Amino acid sequence: MKNVPYKPSWVDRFLDWLVRLPIPTWLSIVSIYLIVAASYHLALFIDGTLPPGGVDVSSAFNAIWSIIGIVFLILLDRIAHRAIDRFSVLLPAKKNELELVRYQLTNIPAGSALVFTVLIVLTIVISSYFDPTFLVVDNPVSVAIFVFFAAFSYSLAPLMLYQGFRQLNLVTKAYRMVDEINLFHLQPLYAFSGLTMTSSLFWILILNLNFVSNFSEGSPTSVADIFLAYVLVLPYLILAFITFIVPLWGIHQRIQRTKEVEIEKNGMQIEKVHGILYKHLNKGEYKKGNDLEKSLNSLYRMREQIEKVPTWPWNPGTLRSFLSAVFLPLGIWLLQQLLSRFL
């Protein structure tokens, strides 16, 4: 694309480089995790906090955050490209506008990414300065290692959130470009459902990882702690539902309104044929009445077909699966905590 609205961020350039490496992308991601985990351990060895050859479970777990954002953004980019390709058949005359949406879906503005990154780095540095226990190490070399890799890992978190909200708006923008809706050619309209579903499932994954991270060293000791834990995950739940529903809500309503218009037209035709049928029957013209009855049956079948047209890109089973993915882990965790608390 020649006239881009903004330069791609450092994250986009890094991910492009990662994908272009002459090895499978999954292997590159695993390598990044191992490098970060090994670096955390090296910092602990240098600091003397951990004996050489020892394993720190907390460091091994925290290294996961270095690749969560990478996996999330790479996957979203790939799904967004496929979604735009499928969706483009509806807008052959708006190719340039759609390519602009593609660019925005798959690239974070460089300025915004820089601001978020600087804020995260400053937060880590300031927290380390005022709270010596924040990084769990004192050796200057160990501190530098921790700050560098923590900044890399945690700077991706706000960018994931930022890009997630941007995509809500961009999907809505893409749908507004559709002038007419054909009830019997809806699959291209559902092209973005995979994008919204993937985003939602990632927020649920992060929610559960936060649970593991927060309580890996011990369970909540009171009902108030359990309640607070659920309050803290509430933003993730809200984000998951918003991402799942909101981008598709506008097109869902348009499809629903189109169905209502078509059903109304069908009803008017049925009423018209009924009137003609009664006239012929009153005159004893039964042969013409039989022909009209066939027309009525065709109209009723057409009505049934219109009524069966889905207005959401997933069936009720998909929605149940999504709700299970959200509430089942939380329900199991809550039951475990209550049982351990009262029994």
Per-residue pLDDT of 283-306, as tens digits, reads 776 666 677 778 888 888 888 888
Of 117, 138, 120, which is closest to residue 129 (Cα–Cα)?
A: 138
Same domain as 269, residue 340: yes
Please tell me the distance from the alpha carbon of residue 33 to that of residue 68, in angstroms, as a whole number: 10
The percent of residues above 90 in pLDDT, for the chain, comes to 15
DSSP 8-state assignment for residue 64: T
Strand partners for 109: 8
Total residues found in the chain within this entry: 343
231 and 293 in a single domain? The answer is yes
Distance CA 112, CA 124 (A): 19
Among residues 145, 179, 213, which one ends one of the domains? 179
Both 129 and 174 in a single domain?
yes
Collapsed DSSP state (helix, strand, coil) of residue 8: strand
User: Strand, coil or helix: what is 32?
Assistant: helix
Q: Do 240 and 320 reside in the same domain of the chain? A: yes
Range of the domain at 276: 182-343
Put simply, whether the predicted model's pTM sits higher than 0.85 gets the answer no
* Whether residue 157 is found in the same domain as residue 213: no
Spatial separation of the C-alpha atoms in residues 80 and 240, rounded to whole Å? 18
Burial string for 71-92 (b: 16+ CB within 10 Å, else e) reads ebbbebbebbeebbebbbebbe
| Buried b / exposed e along 116-134 (16+ C-beta atoms within 10 A) | bbeebbeebeeebeeeeeb
Selected residue with higher pLDDT from 92 and 277: 92
Per-residue pLDDT reduced to its tens digit, 75-104: 888 989 999 999 998 888 888 899 999 999
Instruction: For 164-217, write each residue's pLDDT tens digit.
Output: 788 888 888 888 888 888 888 888 888 888 888 888 878 777 777 766 665 555
Task: Examine the domain organization and report whether 31 and 52 are in the same domain.
Answer: yes
Helix count and strand count (H, E) for the chain: 11, 0
Lookup: tokens for 103: 């660019």
The residues pairing with 8 across neighbouring beta strands, listed in sequence order, are 109
The torsion angles phi and psi of 15, rounded to 5 degrees, stand at -65, -40
Report d(CA 78, CA 121) in Å as an integer.
Answer: 29
- In this structure, the answer to whether residues 126 and 223 fall within a common structural domain is no
Same domain, 282 and 338: yes
Task: For 109, list phi and psi in degrees, rounded to 5.
Answer: -55, 135
Q: How far apart are CA 225 and CA 267, in angstroms?
A: 58
Contacts of 197 (CB under 8 A, 6+ apart): 244, 314, 322
Asked if 276 and 167 sit in the same domain, the reply is: no
Picking from 153, 179, 205, the residue at the C-terminal end of a domain is 179
- Domain-ending residue, one of 159, 179, 199: 179
Non-local CB neighbours of 230 within 8 Å, separated by 6+ positions: 330, 334
Q: Same structural domain for residues 132 and 271? A: no
Number of domains in the chain: 2
Give pLDDT, residue 233: 61
Instruction: Say which amino acid occupies 290.
Output: N
Q: Are residues 187 and 324 in the same domain?
A: yes
Looking at the structure, tell me whether residues 94 and 9 fall in a common domain.
Answer: yes
